[in-house]
């Protein structure tokens, strides 16, 4: 006989039941603590994974925007070329080639859901526009309206990639 068997025999049945119930309560409490701890750890892991995926998506989006931002001056140059006074003197094949390059750039921007910021005729909005000049107007209703677009701006959803440089009307009494 083991020592444990001797202890059990020495205890009376009601005391034994009471002790077993106490041990069972203690085991159930420990089980609940372990389960709660495991559930918290699992939730922490799921949250950490989600946060890491969000960070990666944000970084990826940042890189895309940065690359596209770096190419916007090239797009500006193509647009400037088509508005130049010597544009009409260029050979038609050169004109078609430049227009094709411009179209390809615009297609790439659209494929990334990047849109031009509409400015002409809109009320000046400092979140979307940068005023680089003013033109006087005698019409008070035209005060603060965009009258000329100097450089196009672009956005991705609600995020501004580059503001539009504009000239605005200034009311002169």
Task: Summarize pLDDT for 74-123 with one digit per residue, the tens.
Answer: 999 999 999 888 999 999 999 999 999 999 999 999 998 999 999 999 99
- DSSP three-state, residue 150: strand
| pLDDT band (50, 70, 90) for residue 58 | confident
Which residues constitute the domain of residue 132? 116-173
Domain presence at residue 141: yes
For residue 147, being part of any structural domain is answered with yes
Tell me what pLDDT residue 137 has.
85
CA 66/CA 27 separation, integer angstroms: 58
Does residue 143 lie within any of the structural domains? Answer: yes
CATH number at residue 155: 2.30.22.10
pLDDT (tens digit, 9 = 90+) per residue, 34-52? 999 999 999 999 999 999 9
- Residue 93 falls inside a structural domain: no
Q: Find the mean pLDDT for residues 144-166.
A: 93
**Contact between 153 and 162 (Cβ < 8 Å):** yes
**pLDDT tens digits, 137-151:** 888 888 999 999 999
The region of weakest confidence among 4-13, 18-27, 86-95, 131-140 is 4-13
pLDDT band at 9 (very low <50, low <70, confident <90, very high): low
With 70 as the cut, is the pLDDT of residue 156 above it? yes
How large a percentage of the chain has pLDDT more than 70? 93
Is the pLDDT reported for residue 167 higher than 80? yes
Secondary structure class of 114 (helix, strand, coil): strand
Q: What is the dihedral of CA 116, 122, 126, 129, to 10 degrees?
A: 40
Question: Residue 111 falls within a domain, yes or no?
Answer: no
- Is 60 among the domain residues? no
- 7 confidence band (pLDDT: 50, 70, 90): low
User: Does some domain include residue 169?
Assistant: yes
Residue 20 lies in a domain: no
Mean pLDDT over all residues of the chain?
89
Q: How many structural domains comprise the chain?
A: 1
Question: At a CB cut-off of 8 Å and minimum separation 6, what does 81 contact?
Answer: 87, 98
Statement: residue 70 has pLDDT above 60? yes
């Amino acid at each position: 006989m083991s020592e444990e068997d001797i202890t059990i025999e020495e205890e009376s049945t009601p005391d034994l039941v009471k002790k077993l119930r106490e041990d069972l309560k203690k085991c159930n409490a420990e089980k609940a603590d372990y389960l709660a701890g495991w559930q918290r750890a699992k939730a922490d892991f799921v949250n950490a994974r989600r946060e890491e995926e969000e960070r990666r998506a944000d970084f990826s989006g940042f890189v895309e925007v940065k690359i596209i931002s770096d190419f916007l001056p090239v797009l500006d140059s193509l647009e400037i070329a088509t508005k130049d006074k010597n544009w009409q003197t260029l050979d038609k094949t050169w004109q078609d080639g430049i227009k094709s390059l411009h179209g390809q750039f615009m297609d790439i921007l659209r494929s990334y859901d990047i849109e031009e910021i509409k400015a002409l005729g809109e009320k000046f909005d400092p979140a979307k526009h940068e005023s680089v000049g003013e033109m006087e107007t005698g019409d008070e209703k035209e005060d603060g309206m965009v009258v000329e677009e100097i450089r196009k701006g672009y956005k991705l959803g609600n995020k501004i990639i580059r503001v539009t440089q504009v000239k605005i009307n200034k009311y002169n009494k």
